[in-house]
Amino acid sequence: MAAPEIEIILNRQLADCLSVPVFIVDPEGTLLFYNEPAESILGKRFEETGEMKRMEWSTIFQPIDGEGRPIPPEELPLVIALTQQKPAHKRFFIKNYNGDRHRINVTSYPIIGRSKKFSGAVAIFWTDNEDV
Amino acid sequence: MKIRILGCRGSYPTAKKENALYGQSTSCVEVIHDGRRLILDAGTGILGLNFSDYFDLPRIDIFLTHLHMDHIQGLGFFKPLFVPGKEVHIWGPGGSTHSLKNRLNRYLSPPLFPLPLRDLPCELEIHELADSDFSIDGLNIKTEFVIHPGPTIGYRIERGEKIFVYIPDHEPMIGSQELYSGSRWISGSSLCAQADVLIHDAQYTEEEYESRYGWGHSSVKHMIELAEHSKVKTVYMFHHDPDHSDAFLEDMVTKAQKKVDDPLLSVKLASQGLEIEI
């Protein structure tokens, strides 16, 4: 399997150093990596899930609004970063592997390298469980 | 394919007798195949080339990994550039804002150099590379960006089944001596895969690296891990620190050889004047 571009590798190195959860996907939305802080929100270690296709992870980690209604994929920051190649931010809830509900703030940005090649996207998220 | 090392000192050229044995000139490597000559980097080592070989060639190709001074300092003094009409191709990494030509011109122009690039009498063509694949006279060349401050690429040169890889400046993992398990997540690993010969940055001991995070260079441990992950056959420690004497380098390589787990991997010291045939 080919190595990812260095922009992706550097984002992973950065993610490993951060205390906030980070999620990295390739241009097709395949989950390439999430860091240890993300594991506690998502409910599983990355070593257990490994890489996942977009359809798979987007159904496992169910995004819902404050009323419990599903959020359409096109409104999710990571999907916007992937499809429109622009940064996006949103506050919403997810249900994780274990059925736990977390309110999170998500900021996503596209990864576009020096050669202008789009290599994927990153989502950084913060749990926000006040007033849930 | 013959590989000649003209310069393997990192950062700046030295003039001390204590490090004369392994070389005082900065990065330059020549690849010779079927009468063709490729020059990798143009540090002060380029001045050790036999210029008359190049006066006679119909075309000259110089491949730059990046534009730090120790990799371009000799370029302006490479006399074949001053032959009117001589076809010269300079290849190097593109940037996200300024072109390779603009960035090269910052050095090759007054006040740092007497002539601007445009006044060189040769027929100069500049080619920007990124993650690229191309061929020159039977040599297949692949380039990829690697982790080092500023746009920096490594080169993989293949002829038939023989593979030579050149990554003189590289910090594959910033802030840690341990690379990720599995080579997929290691900068440079695709370039290095199954290489017969890898010339790679090994500027620091593990102890030195602890106080040099982010400076863009590898510890010996980084180099060995990358070579082992990538199933390299022989790796040459390169980009010797100017403060490392010949005796210190010999101690480094002896210790490095003891750290190798893969019995098929050989670790050697690059030295100025060394010729490698693969």
pLDDT for the residue numbered A131: 45
Of B131, B186, B190, the CB nearest to A115: B131
Of A3, A114, A115, the CB nearest to B185: A3
CA distances (Å), origin A108, targets A38, A49, A81, A105, A129:
14, 21, 6, 10, 20
CA distances (Å), origin B50, targets A124, B2, B54, B80:
55, 15, 7, 10
Nearest CA in chain A to B132: A115
Residue B4 has pLDDT above 90, yes or no: yes
> What DSSP string runs through B246-278?
HHHHHHHHHHHHHH---TT-EEEE--TT-EEE-
Domain borders along chain A are 6-127
Confidence of residue B44 (pLDDT cuts 50, 70, 90): very high
- Count CA within 13 A, CB hemisphere, residue B112: 13
The answer to whether A88 touches A96, Cβ cutoff 8 Å, is no
Correct CATH for B2-277 of 3.20.10.10, 3.60.15.10, 3.30.1360.170, 3.40.50.720:
3.60.15.10
The answer to whether the CB atoms of A5 and B145 lie below 8 A apart is: yes
Q: Which tokens sit at A81?
A: 């970063």
Secondary structure class of A125 (helix, strand, coil): strand
Q: For chain B, what is the mean pLDDT?
A: 95
CA distances (Å), origin A119, targets A35, B144, B170:
19, 14, 21
Confidence of residue A56 (pLDDT cuts 50, 70, 90): confident
Q: Which fold has domain A6-127?
A: Beta-Lactamase (3.30.450)
The answer to whether the CB atoms of A6 and B95 lie below 8 A apart is: no
pLDDT for the residue numbered A129: 64
User: A69 exposed, middle or buried (CB, 10 Å; 0-12, 13-18, 19+)?
Assistant: exposed
The answer to whether the CB atoms of A117 and B185 lie below 8 A apart is: no
Q: Give the pLDDT confidence of A71-118 residue by residue, as tens digits.
A: 998 999 999 999 999 999 999 998 877 778 889 999 999 999 988 899
Measured CA to CA, the distance from residue B53 to residue B31 in angstroms comes to 13
Asked if A117 reaches chain B (Cβ–Cβ under 8 Å), the answer is: yes
Q: Within 10 A of B33 (CB to CB), how many other CB atoms are there?
A: 18
Asked if A116 reaches chain B (Cβ–Cβ under 8 Å), the answer is: yes
Of A2, A13, A114, the CB nearest to B130: A114
Asked if A114 reaches chain B (Cβ–Cβ under 8 Å), the answer is: yes
The answer to whether the CB atoms of A6 and B173 lie below 8 A apart is: no
Measured CA to CA, the distance from residue B60 to residue B89 in angstroms comes to 6
pLDDT for the residue numbered A130: 56
Asked if B174 reaches chain A (Cβ–Cβ under 8 Å), the answer is: yes
Q: Give the pLDDT confidence of B141-167 residue by residue, as tens digits.
A: 999 999 999 999 999 999 999 999 999
Q: Give the pLDDT confidence of A1-53 residue by residue, as tens digits.
A: 677 889 999 999 999 889 999 999 999 999 999 999 988 777 788 888 888 88
Smallest Cα distance from A117 to chain B, Å: 10
Smallest Cα distance from B190 to chain A, Å: 6
The answer to whether A24 touches A122, Cβ cutoff 8 Å, is yes
Domain borders along chain B are 2-277
Measured CA to CA, the distance from residue B129 to residue B144 in angstroms comes to 8
Asked if B1 reaches chain A (Cβ–Cβ under 8 Å), the answer is: no
Ordered strands of the A62-64 beta sheet: A31-34, A22-25, A118-127, A101-112, A88-95, A62-64
Q: Give the pLDDT confidence of B66-88 residue by residue, as tens digits.
A: 999 999 999 999 999 999 999 99
pLDDT for the residue numbered A44: 80
Secondary structure class of A98 (helix, strand, coil): coil
Asked if A89 reaches chain B (Cβ–Cβ under 8 Å), the answer is: no
Residue B225 has pLDDT above 80, yes or no: yes
The answer to whether B261 touches B228, Cβ cutoff 8 Å, is yes
Smallest Cα distance from B89 to chain A, Å: 20
Q: Give the pLDDT confidence of B171-186 residue by residue, as tens digits.
A: 999 988 889 887 789 9
Pairing relation of β-strands B266-269 and B234-238? parallel
Asked if A26 reaches chain B (Cβ–Cβ under 8 Å), the answer is: no
Q: Which tokens sit at B85?
A: 């009409």
Nearest CA in chain A to B171: A10
Nearest CA in chain B to A11: B185
Q: Give the pLDDT confidence of B93-146 residue by residue, as tens digits.
A: 988 888 999 999 988 999 999 999 999 999 999 999 999 999 998 999 999 999
Secondary structure class of B216 (helix, strand, coil): coil
